[in-house]
Amino acid sequence: MGSAKTEVKVFTKQFWKEFFKSPEKPFSRDFFMSYAWLIGGCFVFALGAVLFAEPYGFAPGGTYGLSMVFHHLWGWETEVAAFCMDVPLLLLGIYFLGGMFGIKTLICTFAIPAFMWLIHETYGYAALLEPEVVERTELQEQLLSAIFGGIVYGIGIGMIFKARATSGGSDIISMILNKYTHISLGTLVIIVDCTITISTVIAFGDWRLPMYSWIIVFIEGKVIDLIVEGASVNKTLMIVSNRMEEVKDVILNEIHRGATIVPAIGAYKGVPHNMIYTILSRKEMMVLRHRIREIDPEAFINVIDSREILGRGFKPLED
Q: Among residues 273, 312, 313, which one has the least CA distance to residue 296?
A: 273
C-alpha distances (whole Å) from 168 to each of 191, 205, 231 are 16, 29, 26
Q: How many CB atoms lie within 10 A of CB 17?
A: 10
What angle in degrees, to the nearest 10, is found between the helix axes of 139-162 and 208-229? Answer: 30
d(CA 22, CA 20): 6
d(CA 302, CA 21): 44
C-alpha distances (whole Å) from 145 to each of 50, 129, 297 are 11, 7, 51
- The amino acid sitting at 177 is L
The pLDDT assigned to 133 comes to: 42
* 260-265/272-280 β-pairing: antiparallel
Residue 255: is its pLDDT beyond 60?
Answer: yes
d(CA 71, CA 67): 6
Residue-wise pLDDT tens digits, 282-308: 888 888 998 999 999 999 999 988 777
Residue-wise pLDDT tens digits, 179-225: 788 776 657 777 888 888 888 888 888 888 889 998 998 888 888 87
Contacts of 169 (CB under 8 A, 6+ apart): 62, 63, 64, 82, 85, 86, 89
Q: What is the DSSP letter of 281?
A: -
> pTM for the complete prediction?
0.72
Residue-wise pLDDT tens digits, 73-105: 888 999 999 999 999 988 887 777 665 567 888
Give me the sheet containing 234-240, strands edge to edge: 260-265, 272-280, 234-240, 300-306
d(CA 188, CA 108): 22
d(CA 4, CA 1): 5
Q: Which domains does the chain have, with CATH numbers?
A: 2-229 (no CATH), 234-306 (3.30.70.120)
